[in-house]
């Protein structure tokens, strides 16, 4: 795999770990409230994140070449 992909994955893991590390109670409440959301809303939210990630990736890739 490309080094850039591994660096991106490492950054995601660091950012995902900040919530439980610094604000565990807030993070737990957020996770519990998300678990109560309907599946359809979670699908849309996840799809939106994927689209946003692809757009950001494309913009960075197009800008760097």
User: For residue 37, how many C-alpha atoms fall within 13 Å in the half-sphere facing its CB?
Assistant: 14
Domain ranges of the chain: 2-64
- Which residues have a Cβ under 8 Å from the Cβ of 30 and sit 6 or more positions away? 19
**Tens of pLDDT, residues 21-53:** 999 999 999 999 999 999 999 999 999 999 999
Tell me the two tokens of residue 16. 């995902």
Q: Which pLDDT score, from 0 to 100, does residue 37 have?
A: 97
């Amino acid at each position: 795999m490309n080094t850039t992909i591994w660096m991106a994955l490492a950054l995601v893991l660091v950012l995902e770990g900040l919530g439980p590390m610094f604000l565990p109670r807030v993070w737990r409440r957020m996770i519990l409230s998300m678990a109560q959301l309907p599946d359809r809303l979670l699908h849309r939210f996840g799809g939106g994140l994927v689209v946003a990630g692809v757009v950001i990736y494309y913009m960075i890739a197009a800008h760097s070449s």
